[in-house]
Structure 1
Amino acid sequence: MINTKWLHTFCALVDVGSFTQAAKQLYMTQSGVSQHINKLEQYLGQPLIVRKGKGFTLTDSGERLNLEARVILKDLQMLESSVTSDHAFEGEVRIMSPGSIGLKLYPFFLNIQTQHPKLIVDYRFAPNYEIDRAVVENKIDAGFITQTSNLCDVVSTEVGQEELLLVTPKNVEKPTWSQLHDLGFIGHPDVAHYTGLLLGANYPEFQHIDKFTKHGFSNQVSLLLEPVSLGLGFTVLPAHAVESYPKQELIKIHQLPNRISETIYVVEHRDKARSKRADTLLSAAISMLQSCQRCQQLMQQHQVRTSAITV
């Protein structure tokens, strides 16, 4: 492989037309410049210059090399610039999360991208275990998950909370145990986990979601509340998924006495430094999630005070 230092010396020599001036420009000795040219000629097996006194002329091989070498050196310079550049508002950022968090974060990230069009958001929806694996395999820059990672190469950082909510058709004011049984449930991949957490903490009769009649199932989080809005059953979902549903007037959201939340974590590779562009999106997202959590806490405090005044 050709030594790029030899090429750089050769092009500099051609530019200034003098070994003395090339040596000064490159902070080398004249013998050093001559040595680079000789090594280049030996490597290629072709004479590149014809010396004439203190000057020189290029051979045909030298002319061709002069043209090609400049293209190579320019490409290498661009490659180095591309690899070493780390702009806060340029480049691609690859992020994954479960569906509910994604319904909150993806539109938020797109809003940032409209302000900084050179940012590219690659957002994928996936379950927690797939996100962990993608971090380890360096397929993404970061992920948002709802449980700490148990993989040694993954670092988990708590960044917020997301409340679980019971959602029923709009005509259900205060869902009793018998009403829930009559309604039946709309299933999704995490329904057993969510109902176990929320219903188990609020209804002593609760044993398992399978004790209810199943009236539907969907693995598309954005469509899960469609059957609920039609009166076909109830479900339990994280708050961001519920908030994103466009037909709020057709459903009833219930915050039960014993409120249950899932912790949201950012997961990143332990040995990979966060780029500036990734930090732009992640820092903004973390700030937004924490702001949402503070608003929820203030609302809860207000509801407690209002209840105490009423009593």
Structure 2
Amino acid sequence: MVNLDWLQTFCTLVETRHFTRTAEKLAMTQPGVSQQIRKLEQHFQQPLLLREGKKFTLTEAGHQVYRQARQSLIELAQLEYQLGQDDPHIGRCRIASPGSVGLKLYPVGLELQRHYPQLQIEYQFAPNDGIERMMAERQLDIGLMTRITELPELHYHQFASEPLCLVTPPAITDVSWKSLMSLGYIDHPDGRHHTTMLLGANYPQFEQIEQFPRRGFSNQIGLLLEPVALGLGFTVLPLHATNAFSRQDKITIWTLPNPVEEQIYLVKRRYQVSPSRIELLQQQFATALNGEL
């Protein structure tokens, strides 16, 4: 009977397309990965890979083995899940998201933990690249990202969306191009992305963020609007970060003719079968972001 570890190694190799990355993800050595692939080929008595230097392609037999192995691994994971104890109100929940959506969802997780003290909510605020890496390294149960992952071992689906907001000091009476150029821009880690999306859709003069005088920068999501409140410049932020600012009377949120929403994706490992506590958390998050399950 074929060794399941060999099948897992083979599937991971097919999805990463890289022997070294496969070794890192499975906590193996690269020679160990190669040895398991050779044993799998010996078991089936035919080559599964066509090696071309450091690259490879699958043989027809390799494609067949991958399709069947992937399905078998999914079924085995589901069986383990069904046979195990699975209380939705007990256990560890590891989540990460960008800062704005985290400001909305972290309190939701804490409220759930307050009702069910045996839940353990571990919430990290992180950029997309960091979330992608932690998911690939099995450090998270779910991730929320604002772009589509490129790693083949991860699976994503659209979960929600969040409007982008142009925010100025309250003394600003119009948001004409001339007014924004005079005011200047407060930057943040996602500033280029957000500004390009929103201003690009509403101002024909917009080409790049460098057109605006740069008045400051902050990477603290809870403090990004402080310089705006002081009249030092404007910025573009997602809605949840804007609404979380404590001094709403010190800022103005503008409605532009062409609204723009940033997509939020739920990310999991491709073979992952989530326990019921993670499913419960996802439902609570969906309710908070969308108003419905």
TM-score (norm 1): 0.66
Q: State the SS of the aligned residue for 1:157.
A: strand
SS in 2 for 1:158: strand
Fraction of identical pairs, as percent: 44
3-state secondary structure, aligned to 1:222: coil
**Partner letter of residue 94 of structure 2?**
R
Q: How does 1:256-271 map to 2 (within 5 A)?
A: 256-271=256-271
Per-residue deviation, 1:178: 0.9
Question: Which residue of the partner structure matches residue 128 of structure 1?
Answer: 128
Match of 1:205 in 2: 205
CA contact (8 A) 1:186 1:234 kept: yes
Query: SS in structure 2 opposite 1:271?
Result: coil
Contact map agreement 1:163 1:260 (CA 8 A) in 2: yes
**1:1-311 alignment runs, 5 A limit:** 84-291=84-291
- In the alignment, residue 166 of structure 2 is paired with which amino acid? L
- Provide the C-alpha distance between the structure 1 equivalents of 2:285 and 2:95, rounded to a whole number of angstroms: 12
The aligned amino acid for 1:277 is: R
Contact between 1:90 and 1:118, CA under 8 Å: does it hold in 2?
yes
Asked whether the equivalents of residues 145 and 267 of structure 2 are also in contact (C-alpha less than 8 Å), the reply is: yes
Partner AA of 1:244 in structure 2 = A
Indicate if the aligned counterparts of 2:165 and 2:238 stay in contact, CA closer than 8 A.
yes
Cα distance in 1 for partners of 2:223, 2:96 equals 20
CA distance in structure 1 between the aligned counterparts of 2:288 and 2:245, rounded to whole angstroms: 19
**Corresponding residue pairs, total:** 211
Q: Supply the AA of the counterpart residue of 1:157.
A: H
Aligned to 1:129, what secondary structure does the other structure show? helix
Q: What is the alpha-carbon distance in structure 1 between the residues aligned to residue 182 and residue 104 of structure 2?
A: 32
SS at structure 2 position matched to 1:284 = helix
CA contact (8 A) 1:173 1:252 kept: no
Q: How far apart in 2 are the matches of 1:226 and 1:290?
A: 28
Q: Deviations over 1:67-105 (max 9, x none)?
A: xxxxxxxxxxxxxxxx94321011110000011110110
- Give the C-alpha shift of residue 288 in structure 1: 2.1
> Contact 2:105 / 2:288 at 8 angstroms: preserved in 1?
no
Deviations 1:176-210 (A, max 9, x none): 11110111010101111111111111111111111
User: Which runs of 5 or more structure 2 residues have no equivalent in the other structure?
Assistant: 1-82
Equivalent residue, structure 2, for 1:298: none
Q: Which has the higher helix share?
A: 1
Name the structure 2 match of 1:59.
Answer: none
CA distance in 2, matches of 1:154, 1:188: 28
CA distance in 2, matches of 1:127, 1:114: 27
Shift in Å, 1:129: 1.5
Q: Distance in 1 between matches of 2:100 and 2:151?
A: 23
Which has more radius of gyration? 1
- Report the Cα offset of residue 109 of structure 1: 1.0
Cα distance in 1, alignment partners of residues 206 and 280 from structure 2: 44
| Secondary structure of 1:223's aligned partner | coil
Q: Deviations over 1:32-87 (max 9, x none)?
A: xxxxxxxxxxxxxxxxxxxxxxxxxxxxxxxxxxxxxxxxxxxxxxxxxxx94321
Amino acid at match of 2:269: H
8 Å contact 2:218–2:224 — kept in the other structure? yes
- Equivalent residue letter for 1:225: L
Task: Give the Cα separation in 2 of the matches to 1:173 and 1:282.
Answer: 41
* Cα-to-partner distance string for 1:119-140 (whole Å, 9 max, x where unaligned): 1100001111211121121100
Other-structure match for 2:29: none
Runs of 4+ in 1 over 6 A off after TM superposition: none
* CA-CA distance at 1:212 after TM superposition: 0.9
Q: In structure 1, what residue type is equivalent to 2:176?
A: T
In 2, Cα distance between equivalents of 1:247 and 1:159:
30
Cα contact 1:164–1:239 (8 A) shared by 2: yes
In structure 2, C-alpha distance between the alignment counterparts of 1:169 and 1:129, rounded to whole Å? 32
